[in-house]
Each structure stands twice: as structure tokens, then as C-alpha cells.
Structure 1
Amino acid sequence: MNIGHVLTNHARYRPNHLAFVCKDRQLTYAELNQSVNKIANALYDHGIRKGDKVSMLLPNCSELWELYWAIAKIGAVAVPLSPLLSGTGLSNQLNNADTSLVIATSGLQETVNHIMGQLTISTADVWLTDVDCPDPFISFHERKAKASSTEPADPGIQPDDLYNIIYSSGTTGAPKGIMHTHRIRADYMSLFGSYFRMTPESVVLHSGSIIFNGSFLTTMPVMFHGGTFILHSSFDVDHLVEDIRDRKVTHTILVPSQITAALQHPEFTARNAASLEMILSVGAPLHQSQKEKLNSLIPDVFYELYGLTEGFVTILDKTDFYNKPGSVGCTPQFFDMKIVDDEGRELPSGGVGEIVGRGPILMKGYYNDPERTAEAIRNGWLYTGDLGYTDEDGYLYLAGRKKDLIISGGVNVYPKDIEAVIIKHPEITDAAVFGVEDERWGETPVAALICRNGFSADKEVLRNWINDRLEARFQKVSDLLFLDEFPRNVAGKTLKRTIKEMYLKQKENIEG
């Protein structure tokens, strides 16, 4: 079971069907398979073998997309990383993954150079995808041009062999590399293709980053079915609306901020979007008013998915929109869910507790981290850390997050990573970061601070100091709250929910 072979199959049986579009690059399945084979053979010629980790520090581009399939064909392991990472956040993830090869752009050359001393690889194991590749790095395209386009040697993949590692942790703490096997990604192909009603005639558009696991919800099944996949280099609402209209897009996946932007676009009309069969909302809850506006404009295309990279989902099908307002759906076929209290006892419908689930896409575990794997998966059930409840029909409603996770623009943001940076300021004695609703991003981080006595803080200056030192853009705090002390429980734990309520009340008073 090698998921890379889906391209081999389509190249044989539907070679002339349009497979992939990215900017000016358009490839049929025959062309795409040949291009992927050249990359696979170039990797093999470099010494990459089954189980070796190839880390990709790339924005949305054809190279990144083709690497996913080339790496699969030779049995290596794909490790997509955010190009926004830098410093220890980047070196931690590269080292944690036991990286054998890094593929990046020349725009990140300085970033990579800066951390080379912290890595277990040399510049000889860094490929740059730009046409003009500076010494001493290796040119990706030069290696590809010299490689054969024939099918690479069969690495002997078994279903439970590792295919990729997705990092969902923050940038400064201990990374958590979520392991997905060829079997898991094959289930993404067949199951989500079925859930989302895809066919070989489907045209799937993706305008968000394909380094995040949510992208696999549509990228895997469209290739499995032999449809057409359109990749945008970044989200641009004009480009989105134009391609939906002109390329007759049937399926797309968007985070709430992108849906909001589309709804505000004058050309996003029922007529121009007549080909759409699905708009899948992921990453963060979409406001009910926006759901209703979308469904009024383009009826019967809205799906919503709640899920974790670790391997559990619920889906609100387009047929359930009117019946279950506010719900994030139910478990699809072959998935199970229960709501449990702090002692692990299952709660009846209506009872708020931790969401626990299991299903065929459950991760193999956290890479090289059996302890945290055992914390997350107990007796085959994934403990999500999220709070919710079900109605009598088994539909899930979110009630908050047990963990302090913030989802901003569809990206997971961990407060402890931001707090670790803030507390380095010599005049700050404590920090508590939490998320608040944001119309554009879904959520945005806010930091509550306790400063040393006598320290006179200018809010904007201090906020800039913090944001300048954070390692990823999506971590940047939008506002600060100054307190003399934090509310805490009897065990001394900071009560972030209470702090958030204080902040929202203060903001309401100021605005009122």
C-alpha cells in the first residue's frame, strides 16, 4: 500500500485528464506522474531511502505539492514545516524529526544558515528550489533535471509504514510530531472522498497552506478519485472568486476568515459559484450569522468539520445545516465519540465534558514521544482536550477548549509558547495568554501581564517588544491587559477563563 501509486494508476488509465494547476503550471496525470518520478529519483540518487525524513520548508508551490507524492513513492517520510518558523522553533522541529534533507527557498537561506550549527545535517543536505541556487546549497531543479522519469524502485511499503509527520505544537516548546501512515492517508482518500461526494470529475481548489493537516482532507481524495486539483500560492479573495467561476470549481476548503472575505466580495454570487458542491469550513468555529449568510447566498454547499490532526473528526453535512444550527456535526461512518467527565465516565446527552473519539485515521502516535502518546490515546480513544456536549441525536456542540489552544486563521497557537517569550522581559513577572474572538481570524491572542512595582508600561511599546520576539506571525498578540495579580484556584493555578472575562468586560466598558 503506497499512496504514491495513485498517480501511477491515473497516469496509465486517464493520462490526459487535467490533474494539477498552480499558477501557469498545468499538468495532466501523465505529466504529473513523470515530474513526480523525476523528483523521487533525484531524492533516491541523493541517498534518501525508506524511512528517511525529508523536511519541506516551503510556501504553497508546485514543488511542495509534487514532493508529497515523490517522497511517498520511495518510502521516505514527508515533514512539512511552516516557512514562518525561525530560530529554535525551526531547529527543534528539524532535529526532533531526525531530518535527513531540507528543501527550502532561497528566501529562507539566511534563516537556515542561522541555525545550521544547531542541526545534525550540513549544507550538503539542503536543497533550494529557486532557479539560481547560491553556493554551497544544492539546486532542487538541477537535481531533478538530471534524474530519470521512470517509476522509482519499489521500496516495499506496508500499510502501517510511516508516510508523514505533521507538527502541531508551538514553536518554542517540545515539538509534537503527529505520525500518519500510508494506511491513514489512504483512508483520508477513500473516506473523505465519500463524505464530501467527490468523483473523478471533481475540481478541488485549495487557497490555504498545504503544510497543515486540514489540507489533506481534500488534497488526498481528489487525487484518489483522479479529479483536478488547483493550488493557489496564497489566499487572495479575487483569485478565489475568479477561479471558482472560470474553472468550475466543485469543492473548496476555507477557514472562517476566508469565508468572511468571500462573502464580502461583490463577485461572489450564486451565479458565479453555481458549480460549487462544497465549501468546507475548518480550523475554527464559523459564526452562525456567517453560516446563514453563506447558505442564503449559495444553498446546500456548506459543510463544517471539527477535528484534530491526531485523528478524530465530526462533520456537519450540507443536508444538516437547517436541522442542527450551531452544531459541528456528528461522527461519520467508522468513527465513534463519547463525552466524558474528569474521571473518564461517559456523560449523557447535554452533559458538557471532554470530547473523546476514535476512528480509522487515528495517529500512530507522537514521533519519539511515547509518554505524550500514552496521555493522548488511552485504550484506543483519543482524548482531545476540547469540551463539548451532544444532543439526543448524537450531534456535537463545542463548549470551549480544555486545553488553552488558540486557533487563529486556522493555525494552532499555543499560549505557553507566547508566555515563554513574554516572561523574558525584565519588568514582567507573570503572563497569561488567552484567545478572544476576532471577526477576521476567528481568534486572536491577548496577553495579561503582571509587571514589577514601579514599572510604567506603554502598551504599544510593550506589545511591539513581545511581537518582535515571537517566532511566528500567527502568534502575535493583539492586545494587553495589565493586572496587579492573577485570579487563581486553591491549587495556585491561574484562572485564564476568569482573566478573559475581566478583559472582555473592560473592553466592553471602554467601547461603551
Structure 2
Amino acid sequence: MNNALTIAGLVTRSARHRPEHLAVVASGQRLTHHDFNLRVNRLANGMLAAGVRRGERIATLLPNCLELLDIYWAAAKIGAVAVPLSPMLLAPGLASLLDDSGAVMLFTTGSLLDLARQAAALAPRLSGCRLVLVGEDADPAASYAALLTHGDAEPVLPSPVAPSDLYNIMYTSGTTGQPKGIMLSQQVRAMYALLCSSVFRIGPESVVLATGSLVFNGAFVTMMGAFFAGATYVVHGQFDAEALIDTVRRERVTHIMLVPSQIIAVLASPRFAPEHLGSLQMILSLGAPLHSHHKDELQRLLPGRFHELYGLTEGFLTILDKTDATRKAGSVGCAPPFMDMRIVREDGSDAAAGEIGEIVGRGPMLMDGYFKRADLTAAALVDGWLHTGDVGYVDEEGFLYLVDRKKDMIDSGGVKVYPRDIEELLVEHPAVLEVAVFGVPHEKWGETPLAAVVLREPGSVDGAALKEWLNGRVGARFQRVQEVVVLEAFPRNAAGKVLKRALREPYWEGRDTKI
């Protein structure tokens, strides 16, 4: 077993020391650590027999399922590179990412086979990529089951997997521009395991529920911690608020990770009651800011459980611990051990406490860079510091307060308008469930704020009434919105993040669109 700072031996270790403990609940199956390890070994040996070599890329186009977990951990054992791709991609985007990654194998299902074939037709260089179908209806010659026939012994490699070996290429979600492949090593994922199991108090008896997409990097926050601790990891096929509540009650779930829209959906569910979620010890919000109104509601209904994580897949994060959540309300926490954070001015000098600037950070979870994009890597990593593109400030104790994304800031007549300030007000309206504020063109001011909302009850209020209500409460004239647009739902990526870019683009069509 590899004992270096890698994740290659985590599943093996739990199988040896906790063989009969429940490891995984997924796709209708309940597997002990022993049985899960055998599955992973069979797949790892099948990959090796199929010619997959250390450092080669293995892509997945799969929904949440047991096989996706098999692939992640089999790749870790043999030093292959897991490249999770979103099932929400369209054929041109999928073709571009498969071509960029140089994947030698693509795992998908029958329901997504047409999409995979369309992508292959758009990228002839994918002819060398082997297609593997997951599911009972798969062609036996190209099936996942065929890979599982090569024995369940631990895979034998010419040399052990090394900490510096690449483990993931995580393509960015595309919320702020063309996706980029973020390279994360075995050592980085090992740091996820060490740090996240510690700060979120994930132990051997924990039960961790994954209810969002496993192709989203945020899923690795609790996944790595759970497998490091030898805990139980429960996977939902997709997010469903009612199913989440039922699973927490049935499995006595202790830890969940949700994006803000999912937290809002759980609190709004007719099945929600605090006692149904009483087993929870941690509710982690990440992926986007959770507005204060919803934080307060969560703290009131389920006190003493809320954590918040601000971070980038590129490798920097801050964590607001549940013990600080009330004392530091509005903060997204501080940098964890082994990480450093600075707030910098436009000239690169350090900002004072309370002064707004760009958030930059460094530490042992930093990416190796963007895959095949040295130019973008050099712009993001400067002298070992990751420049996040986000704006915030710290208080005297070093707690970070996120103001907004640089790209989301609205320049209205030379005045910087932060959408989040307006969102925090509008979400307090009793009829409003979710809100997104972004800049739209304006003949006099260049751009001005517009608010899009999703209502708790459709038809309960119109946009004009919400505009009047909001504009009477903002703190400055330049924060007044041009319009409030009522939508049935927001566009989202696979992680559940609101795609502000998709909301904004129609207003800027034919102009220099803000991306």
C-alpha cells in the first residue's frame, strides 16, 4: 500500500482496517469498505489490461452513480487522471473538452451515448478514445462490466503513485468565460482529505451525504474527507430537497454540503421540519455566497451546524467554522492552517484591515496550473500567490468578508456598484426566493443594475412592485435598479450555481459583452 502523501491507498487502508463498516450507499447498493475496495480493484485492473497507463486521462460523462465513485478511486490507485465532465454539456462543448484533455477512455451511459457520438463527430482526433458504457443495456464488447473481469487483487504498478502525479483535470464551470482545465495532483487531493476531515470534524462514524453533482469540485471537499476517515458516504442520483430530508432521517446523516440554491430549496420544502434534520452536525454552504437572510433563517431553525466555505478550484479557500458563524456573521471565515491570504490594492500593495481589495492566497492546495495554458497560469499564479479575481476585505482578526466578483461589479458612471449589496436587500422581500443582480447597458451611465428574481409563489407580486420596494430601500441612488425581471427559474450549471453570465448576455448582444 502506498503510504506517501497521495490518495492512492485510502480505499485500501479502510478495507484493511474497517472491512465490515458501511462505506458507500449509492445506486441502490450498500457496500462495506471491503466490498467497495474489491470493486475498485477490479476496475483498476481492467483499466490496466485495457492499456491505460499512468498519467493518461480518463474522462467521465456520467450522472451521480456508484460507477463514478469506482472510476475516481480506480484512477487514484493506478495513477491515471480523472477528468469529470458535466452531463449538461452540449456536443460542441463536450468535443472541445475531450479534445483538450486528450482522454484515452470515456465512460458514459446509454442515455448520453448520442451526445458522446455527436461530440466524437465534431472532433475526429477523438478516434483513439475508447468508449465504455455503464449500464445493463450496454454492448458487452464495450461495457463497464467487461472491465471488471480482471481480478480483484490490488493492482500492480511498475512504481508507486507519487504525490506529484496529476490526479484531476477539473474544467471550470464556465460561469465567467471559456472553461479551463485545472490540474490537481495526488498531493493536493491528499491535502483536501487531511484538511477537510479535520476542520469539518469528519470521523470514522460520520455519515456524509452527497446530494449535488459529483463532477463539481465542491463534491471533493466532503468526499476526500469521508474516505480519508473511513466514514460512510451516501450518494444521491441528483439533488431533490424531499429526498435529502428523507435520507438524512433514514441514514442518520451527520454531514452535508450544499450550494445556496439547494439550502433555499430545503428550507422551502413542505417536508422540512428541524427535527427531521436533527442528526446533522455540519451543514456546509459553498459555491456562491448565501445571502444573510437565508443564513439567519438556517441558524434559527438548525442552530450550531452552519459552516461556510469560500474557495476556488484553483486551490485557495477560507472556512467559517460553526463556532464563529454567529460571532462573525457576514464573514466567509479565515484561511485554514498552512494557507496564507492577503487583500491587495490595484498597485499590488497590501490593503489595511477594512479596506476593499482583491483576494489573493497561497498554500499546499494550489493547482499545478491550467492544462496546456501556461499563459493563463502565469496570469493567475504570480510569485506563488493565486489571484482570485474576487473582491473583499478582512477585519482585525483576519476574517474575510466577500464583497463581490471583480467581473460582476457594475461600473455605473464611474461608480463601482456591488451586486451583492443589492441582492442582500431584495432577498428580504417576503415574496422573493432567489435574486441575481447584474449590469445591463445604459445610454447615460454606461451600465446600470438590473435584478432578476424567482418568487416563492408564482404571481404573488410583479416586477414593478418589487422595483419600487427595492429602490426605496437602497443606500445610494446608483444602487437603484433599472428593472426587476420575474423568472420561473434561473439558469444553472451542474453544480447548481446561478449562471449570471447567461442572464446578462441577452442584454449585451451586439455590444462588448461583460463576461
| Bin of the TM-score, shorter chain as denominator length | 0.7 to 0.9
Partner of 1:223: 227
Partner of 2:137: 132
Equivalence for 1:272: 276
Amino acid of the structure 2 residue aligned with 1:151: E
Distance 2:95 2:508 in 1: 35
Write the distance in 2 (CA, Å) between the matches of 1:12 and 1:357.
38
Verify the 8 A CA contact 2:249 2:276 in the aligned structure 1.
yes
8 Å contact from structure 2 (residues 408, 438) kept in 1: no
What amino acid sits opposite 1:299 in the alignment?
Answer: P
Match status 1:110 vs 2:108:
no
Q: Say whether the 8 Å CA contact 2:103–2:129 is kept in structure 1.
A: no
Cα distance in structure 2, aligned partners of 1:203 and 1:378: 39
Separation in structure 2 between the aligned mates of residue 53 and residue 359 of structure 1, nearest angstrom: 26
Alignment of 1:189-208 (within 5 A): 189-208=193-212
Give the aligned partner of residue 85 of structure 1. Answer: 89
CA pair 447-79 structure 1, distance change in 2 beyond 3 A? farther
Distance 1:483 1:215, change over 3 A: closer
CA shift, 1:171, in A, is 9.1
Three-state SS of the structure 1 residue aligned to 2:47 is helix
SS where residue 397 of structure 1 aligns? strand
Q: Out of 152, 156, 164, which is 1:149 matched to?
A: 152
Describe how 1:24-423 pairs up with structure 2 within 5 A: 24-117=28-121, 118-122=123-127, 125-134=130-139, 138-144=142-148, 146-154=149-157, 155-168=159-172, 170=174, 174-404=178-408
Task: Tell me: CA distance 1:38–1:482, structure 2 relative to 1, closer, same or farther (3 Å).
Answer: closer
Q: Distance in 1 between matches of 2:212 and 2:434?
A: 13
- Whichever residue aligns with residue 246 of structure 2, its letter is E
- Structure 1 letter corresponding to 2:342: K
**Given residue 237 of structure 2, which amino acid in structure 1 is its aligned partner?**
S
1:126: how far off? 0.6
Q: Give the drift of 1:175.
A: 3.6
- Larger displacement relative to structure 2 (151-160 or 217-226): 151-160
CA distance in 1, matches of 2:132, 2:71: 12
Is the 1:257–1:440 contact (alpha carbons within 8 Å) kept by the matching residues of 2? no
Identity, % of aligned pairs? Answer: 44
Separation in 1, partners of 2:132, 2:164 = 29
TM-score (norm 1): 0.80
Shift of 1:300: 0.5
Question: Residue 193 of structure 2 aligns to which amino acid in structure 1?
Answer: M
The 2-side partners of 1:485 and 1:266 are apart by: 44
Where does residue 480 of structure 2 map in the other structure?
none
Does the aligned pair in 1 maintain the 2:343–2:357 contact within 8 Å?
yes
Determine whether 1:17 maps to 2:14. Answer: no
Aligned mates of 1:302, 1:263 — CA distance in 2: 14
Pairwise CA distance, 1:404:
4.4
| C-alpha distance in structure 2 between counterparts of 1:60 and 1:320, whole Å | 33
Matched to 1:263, the amino acid is L
Distance 1:479 1:368, change over 3 A: closer
* Structure 1 residue ranges without an equivalent (≥5): 407-433, 451-462, 487-492, 498-512
Q: Structure 1 pair 471/238, CA: closer, same or farther in 2 (3 Å)? A: closer
- Give a deviation string over 1:250-292, Cα, whole Å, max 9, x none: 1000111111111123443332222111000011111111111
Contact 2:286 2:309 in 1 (8 A): yes
Q: State the 1:388 CA deviation.
A: 0.6
Aligned residues: 445
Distance 1:329 1:113 in 2: 45
* Contact 2:260 2:286 (C-alpha < 8 Å) held by counterparts: yes
Q: Which amino acid aligns with 1:352?
A: I
Q: One-letter code of the match for 1:132?
A: D
For residues 322-366 of structure 1, the C-alpha deviation after alignment (integer angstroms, 9 at most, x for no partner) is 111111111111111111111111100111111001111011111
Matched-pair contact (CA < 8 Å) for 2:98–2:126: no
Report the CA distance shift for 1:157/1:347 in structure 2 as closer, same or farther (over 3 A). same
Q: 1:108-152, CA deviations, whole angstroms, 9 ceiling, x for partnerless residues? A: 1111111213142337711110211249x71112322x2211111
Paired AA for residue 137 in structure 2: D
Contact 2:440 2:508 in 1 (8 A): no
Q: Structure 2: which 5+ residue stretches go unaligned?
A: 411-418, 444-484
Which residue type is aligned with residue 254 of structure 1? L
**Can you list the C-alpha shifts for 1:174-201, whole angstroms capped at 9, x where unaligned?**
5411011111111100111101011111
| Alpha-carbon distance in 2 for matches of 1:448, 1:42 | 55
Distance 1:328 1:194 in 2: 18
C-alpha distance in 2 between matches for 1:70 and 1:323 = 43
TM-score norm. by structure 2 comes to 0.80
In structure 1, C-alpha distance between the alignment counterparts of 2:50 and 2:348, rounded to whole Å: 50
Q: 1:405 to 1:365 in 2, by over 3 A?
A: farther
Letter in 1 for 2:110: S
How many Å separate the matches in 2 of 1:293 and 1:200?
Answer: 31
**Contact 1:86–1:471 (8 Å) recurs in 2:** no
